[in-house]
């Protein structure tokens, strides 16, 4: 049912197991289970349907391989990787999700509501990597100098996992945390002065419905040590996959509060505040059966 794209070692890091999976063969590492897991994840993502049954129990290294294969199968429709979103599992370990170019849209967009999965919106901010990319971030240096823009964002996810697995690191990784849409607002440019002003103070955001009722709030203040540590942790996880933060990649700043369920359709607005001004993102949620 799904096109199985043959990966390479450059993309997946440890290519031997991935190639065995792509060929449909079996191995001592359980590739038959991995193939079934891949099919289950792709089916849930395509149907936007919460899984009735949990994903098979799978070890972390193989979970990353399956996530990469899911992204490669989505690539014909969603495009290549242009950034990363990260969340936290119930174990408090970082879960890295790939962002594909056609997941992005801008203020004014109309988005389709998921038919069979709860849809959750997160407020926050993204950073655009400077053209030279990112090496190791020195904890003593201004971490924001590695970035050229601060971008207000609403990230919308489908909750695809069975309830008992919703905080499981491997299951979240396999399904790419269900990331579906990223709605971006007008960015702030980050020169040295702007970076110090914007990212040295609290960032705040508010999501409201068309009647003005508050649905969610987000607030974050980044310490240099915390931010540089997060970036270095993300770099280490990407390096283990044979990837790095390239110029113009987009990077989510991290969790800024719980997501809010979008159980209604209609127009929504998100207001973002910084010391250098405000931005607004407006978008609409459309029911699948609407015309």
> What was the pLDDT predicted at 233?
93
Give start and end residues of each alpha helix (H) in the chain: 9-12, 15-22, 31-47, 60-78, 169-174, 192-199, 224-239
Q: How many structural domains does the chain have? A: 1
What's the CATH code of the domain at 280? Answer: 3.90.850.10
Is residue 4 domain-resident?
no
Is residue 28 domain-resident?
no
Is residue 71 domain-resident?
no
> What was the pLDDT predicted at 105?
97
> What was the pLDDT predicted at 236?
93
> What was the pLDDT predicted at 198?
86
Is residue 7 domain-resident?
no
Is residue 37 domain-resident?
no
Domain containing residue 97: 80-286
Name the nearest CA neighbour of 30 among 59, 68, 72.
59
- DSSP state at residue 116: B
Token digits of residue 209: 């419905």
Task: Give the C-alpha separation, 143 to 14, whole Å.
Answer: 31
pLDDT tens digits, residue range 103-128?
Answer: 999 999 999 988 889 999 999 999 99
Is residue 214 domain-resident?
yes
Is residue 26 domain-resident?
no
Q: CA quadruple 240, 245, 246, 251: dihedral positive or negative?
A: positive
For the entire predicted model, the pTM comes to 0.86
Residue listed under structure tokens 């110029």:
247
Is residue 67 domain-resident?
no
Compute the radius of gyration of the chain from its Cα atoms.
19
Name the nearest CA neighbour of 113 among 255, 284, 273, 285.
285
**Residue ranges in the chain modelled with pLDDT below 70:** 1-31, 138-140, 290-291
- DSSP state at residue 136: P
pLDDT tens digits, residue range 153-197?
Answer: 999 999 999 999 999 999 999 999 999 999 999 999 998 888 888
């Amino acid at each position: 049912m799904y096109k199985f794209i043959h990966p390479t070692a450059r993309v997946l890091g440890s290519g031997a197991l991935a190639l065995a999976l792509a060929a449909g063969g079996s191995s001592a590492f359980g590739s038959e289970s991995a193939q079934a897991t891949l099919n289950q994840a792709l089916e849930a993502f395509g149907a936007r349907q919460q899984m009735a049954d949990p994903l098979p129990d799978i070890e972390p290294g193989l979970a990353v391989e399956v996530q990469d294969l899911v992204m490669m199968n989505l690539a014909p429709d969603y495009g290549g990787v242009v950034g990363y979103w990260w969340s936290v599992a119930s174990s408090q370990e970082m879960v890295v999700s790939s962002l594909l170019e056609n997941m992005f849209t801008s203020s004014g967009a109309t988005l389709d509501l998921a038919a069979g999965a709860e849809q959750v919106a997160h407020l926050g901010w993204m950073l655009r990597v400077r053209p030279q990319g990112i090496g190791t971030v020195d904890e003593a240096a201004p971490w924001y100098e590695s970035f050229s823009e601060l971008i207000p964002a609403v990230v919308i996810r489908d909750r695809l996992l069975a309830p008992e697995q919703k905080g499981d690191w491997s299951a979240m990784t396999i399904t790419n945390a269900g990331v579906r849409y990223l709605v971006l607002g007008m960015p702030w440019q980050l020169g040295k002065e702007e970076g110090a002003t914007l990212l040295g103070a609290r960032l705040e955001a508010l999501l409201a419905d068309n009647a003005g009722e508050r649905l969610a709030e987000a607030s974050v203040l980044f310490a240099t040590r915390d931010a540089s540590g997060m970036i270095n942790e993300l770099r280490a996880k990407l390096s283990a996959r044979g990837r790095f933060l390239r110029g113009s990649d987009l990077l989510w700043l991290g969790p800024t509060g719980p997501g809010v369920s979008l159980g209604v359709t209609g127009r929504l607005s998100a207001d973002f505040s910084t010391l250098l001004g405000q931005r607004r993102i407006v978008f609409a949620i459309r029911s699948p059966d609407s015309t």
